[in-house]
C-alpha cells in the first residue's frame, strides 16, 4: 500500500533514513547543533546563521508569525513539518498564511519533504512568543509588580482582540452561508458536521450490508476487468475503501481514495490487512487537496443520498469531473434518474399523520402541517402503489451542472388501482453504462436498500379510480438554508404542500 509517509534523511549520517518519531527524539545537543545551521528564508533567497534569526526575519519582513500560527491553529510539531513542506512545494505567498482562516496545509501528503533543511528539525512545540530572542538584561530585571502589570495589560488586549475576532468570524460565516450556491463553496469549518457523521461505524455497516448497493459496485468493476485494467482510478468519498479495493481487484493500475472523515484511518488498516499495494488513501476534502496526480481515467463514487440528491455530494463529483477526470474518462456511475409514484396506505397515513388528531384524548392536529413537511424515509409496500411512475429527472453525470437540484416537472400519474392516494413516493435508479452494464433501483418493486424510499404525505387524500390520470407538479430546489439540503413543493388536487429534506 502506498501510504502517505515521511522520508526524512539525516545528512549527518550518510543519508541514513530515519522515521519521524526517531528524528524528533534526537538529543538536545544534536538539536542545538542543527538549529545553528544556516537557514534559508521560506519566502526569499536570504540566508541566516540560525533558524531563530530566520524566524525573526520571516515575521518582520514577510509578516508571518509562526508563534501566532501555532496558537491560532493549535499546531504541533507534525503540523509545522506539514506547513514547511507545503510552503516549499506550493511556493505560496506569505500573505496567504497571514490571512489564513484554516490550516489548509494540514494534510498527510505534506509530511514528505523534498529535501532536508533545518526548518524541519526545529523544536516548534517549545517555541517562545515574540520578543524571546531579543530579551535583554533590563527586561529580565523587571520587578514583580511591573511584570504583573504588563501581563494584565496583555490579557486585556488579547481579550479585546478575541472579541473582535469572534465577531468578525461570525459575520464572515453568516455572509458566506448566505451566498453559498453549492457544497463546494462551504468552508471546511461550516461543513465539518457532515464529515463527522461519516466517522461512525454504524453508517458504514449499514452501507456495506446493503447487498444491492455493494454488489452493484462490485459487479460494475469486476465484470468489466478488461475496461478497468491498467487505468488510474479516483475513489471519491472512499469511506472504508471497499470500492478502491474492488478497483484494484479489477486490474486498475493505481487507485487513489480520498475521504475527509476519520474512517479513513480504519480504511488504511483495511487496505494494509488485505495486502493491496496499489491503493493510496488520503484524508482531506477533495476541493482543498492536492492529489498525487491530477487526472484519472475513472472516477468512482457512491455519492447518492435519500431522494438521490440529499446531502449534495453530487457537487463534489462535478468538481472531481471538471478538475480530475482525464479526457475520454469515465464516471461510475454515469447516470441516475429520479421517479415518483402515487401511493395509498391508510395504515401508514394514520400512523404518521392522523395520529396527531387524537393523542390520548388530546387534539394535537396543529402538529400535522409541520410533521408532514418532514418526508418519511421508509420501506413502503409495493402492493399499495396506485399509479404508474413518473420520471421527474434524468442526470447524465458527464454533463450535469451545479444547478441540478433546481427543477420542476409536470406530473401525469396514471392510476392502476383504486383507493385513497395519500402520498407520493420518491426513489431513484442508478446506471453503470459499461461493456457489461449494471443497474440498480431503490424502487418499492426492487430489493430493499438502505436508501429506502421517501414518502411525501399529502394533507387531503384523493379518491382515485383505475385509468384516471392525476395531474400536478413537483418542484425541487436546493435549500436556501443549507447547500446539502433540499426543499420540495408538490401541487396536487388544487393543494400545495411544502417539504424539507435536511
Residues annotated catalytic, as ranges: 302, 311
Tell me the CA distances in angstroms from 12 to 15, 16, 85, 111, one per residue in order.
7, 9, 21, 21
- Reading the block at residue 180, the C-alpha cell is 453559498
**How many C-beta atoms lie closer than 10 Å to residue 5's C-beta?**
11
Question: Residue 217: left (phi > 0), alpha (psi -120 to 50), or beta?
Answer: alpha
Burial of residue 250 (CB within 10 Å: 0-12, 13-18, 19+) is buried
- CB-based contact 54:38 (threshold 8 Å): no
Question: Residue 193: left (phi > 0), alpha (psi -120 to 50), or beta?
Answer: alpha
- Reading the block at residue 254, the C-alpha cell is 493505481
User: How far is residue 216's CA from residue 432's CA, in Å, rounded to a whole number?
Assistant: 9
Angle at 107 between CA 282 and CA 255, to 5 degrees: 20
**How many C-beta atoms lie closer than 10 Å to residue 347's C-beta?**
9
User: How far is residue 325's CA from residue 492's CA, in Å, rounded to a whole number?
Assistant: 42
Residue closest to 252 by CA, chosen among 291, 220, 207, 208 = 220
- Reading the block at residue 417, the C-alpha cell is 388501482
User: How far is residue 438's CA from residue 481's CA, in Å, rounded to a whole number?
Assistant: 36
Question: Residue 133: left (phi > 0), alpha (psi -120 to 50), or beta?
Answer: alpha
How many angstroms from the chain centroid is the CA of residue 90?
23
**DSSP assignments along 250-315, one per residue:** TT-SEEEEEE-STHHHHHHHHHHHTT--SEEEEES-GGG---SSS-EEEEE----BTTBTTT-THH
User: How far is residue 248's CA from residue 266's CA, in Å, rounded to a whole number?
Assistant: 18
How many angstroms from the chain centroid is the CA of residue 313?
8
User: How far is residue 369's CA from residue 184's CA, in Å, rounded to a whole number?
Assistant: 33
- CB-based contact 470:492 (threshold 8 Å): yes
- Reading the block at residue 455, the C-alpha cell is 414518502
Amino acid at each position: 500500500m502506498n501510504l502517505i509517509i515521511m522520508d526524512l534523511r539525516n545528512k549527518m549520517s550518510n543519508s541514513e533514513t530515519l522515521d519521524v518519531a526517531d528524528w524528533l527524539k534526537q538529543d538536545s545537543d544534536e538539536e542545538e547543533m542543527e538549529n545553528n545551521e544556516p537557514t534559508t528564508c521560506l519566502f526569499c533567497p536570504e540566508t541566516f546563521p540560525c533558524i531563530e534569526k530566520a524566524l525573526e526575519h520571516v515575521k518582520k519582513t514577510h509578516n508571518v508569525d509562526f508563534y501566532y500560527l501555532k496558537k491560532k491553529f493549535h499546531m504541533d510539531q507534525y503540523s509545522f513539518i506539514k506547513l514547511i513542506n507545503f510552503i516549499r512545494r506550493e511556493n505560496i505567498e506569505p500573505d496567504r498564511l497571514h490571512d489564513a482562516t484554516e490550516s489548509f496545509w494540514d494534510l498527510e501528503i505534506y509530511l514528505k519533504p523534498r529535501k532536508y533543511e533545518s526548518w524541519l528539525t526545529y523544536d516548534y512545540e517549545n517555541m517562545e512568543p515574540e520578543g524571546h530572542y531579543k530579551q535583554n538584561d533590563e527586561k529580565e530585571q523587571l520587578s514583580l509588580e511591573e511584570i504583573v502589570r504588563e501581563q494584565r495589560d496583555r490579557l486585556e488586549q488579547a481579550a479585546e482582540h478575541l472579541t473582535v475576532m469572534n465577531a468578525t468570524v461570525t459575520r464572515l460565516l453568516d455572509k458566506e452561508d448566505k451566498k453559498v450556491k453549492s457544497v463546494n463553496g462551504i468552508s471546511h469549518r461550516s461543513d465539518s458536521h457532515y464529515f463527522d457523521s461519516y466517522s461512525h461505524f454504524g453508517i458504514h455497516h449499514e452501507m456495506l450490508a446493503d447487498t444491492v448497493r455493494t454488489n452493484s459496485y462490485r459487479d460494475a468493476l469486476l465484470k468489466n476487468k478488461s475496461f478497468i485494467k491498467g487505468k488510474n482510478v479516483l475513489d471519491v468519498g472512499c469511506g472504508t475503501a471497499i470500492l478502491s479495493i474492488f478497483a484494484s481487484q479489477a486490474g486498475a493500475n493505481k487507485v487513489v481514495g480520498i475521504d475527509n472523515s476519520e474512517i479513513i484511518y480504519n480504511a488504511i488498516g483495511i487496505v494494509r490487512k488485505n495486502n493491496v499495494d496499489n491503493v493510496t488513501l488520503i484524508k482531506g476534502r477533495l476541493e482543498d487537496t492536492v492529489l498525487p496526480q491530477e487526472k484519472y481515467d475513472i472516477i468512482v463514487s457512491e455519492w447518492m443520498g435519500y431522494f438521490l440528491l440529499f446531502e449534495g455530494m453530487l457537487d463534489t463529483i462535478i468538481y472531481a469531473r471538471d478538475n480530475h477526470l482525464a479526457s475520454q474518462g469515465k464516471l461510475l456511475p454515469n447516470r441516475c434518474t429520479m421517479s415518483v409514484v402515487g401511493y395509498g396506505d391508510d395504515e401508514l397515513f394514520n400512523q404518521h399523520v392522523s395520529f396527531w388528531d387524537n393523542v390520548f384524548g388530546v387534539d394535537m392536529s396543529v402538529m400535522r402541517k409541520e410533521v408532514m413537511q418532514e418526508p418519511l424515509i421508509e420501506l413502503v409496500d409495493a402492493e399499495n402503489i396506485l399509479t404508474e411512475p413518473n420520471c421527474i429527472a434524468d442526470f447524465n453525470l458527464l454533463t450535469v451542472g451545479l444547478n441540478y437540484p433546481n427543477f420542476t416537472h409536470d406530473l401525469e400519474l396514471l392510476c392502476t388501482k383504486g383507493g385513497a392516494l395519500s402520498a407520493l413516493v420518491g426513489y431513484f435508479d442508478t446506471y453503470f453504462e459499461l461493456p457489461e452494464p449494471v443497474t440498480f433501483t431503490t424502487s418499492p418493486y426492487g430489493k430493499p436498500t438502505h436508501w429506502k424510499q421517501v414518502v411525501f404525505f399529502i394533507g387531503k387524500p384523493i379518491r382515485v379510480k383505475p385509468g384516471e390520470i392525476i395531474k400536478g407538479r413537483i418542484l425541487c430546489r436546493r435549500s436556501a438554508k443549507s447547500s446539502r439540503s433540499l426543499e420540495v413543493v408538490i401541487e396536487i388536487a388544487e393543494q400545495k404542500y411544502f417539504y424539507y429534506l435536511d
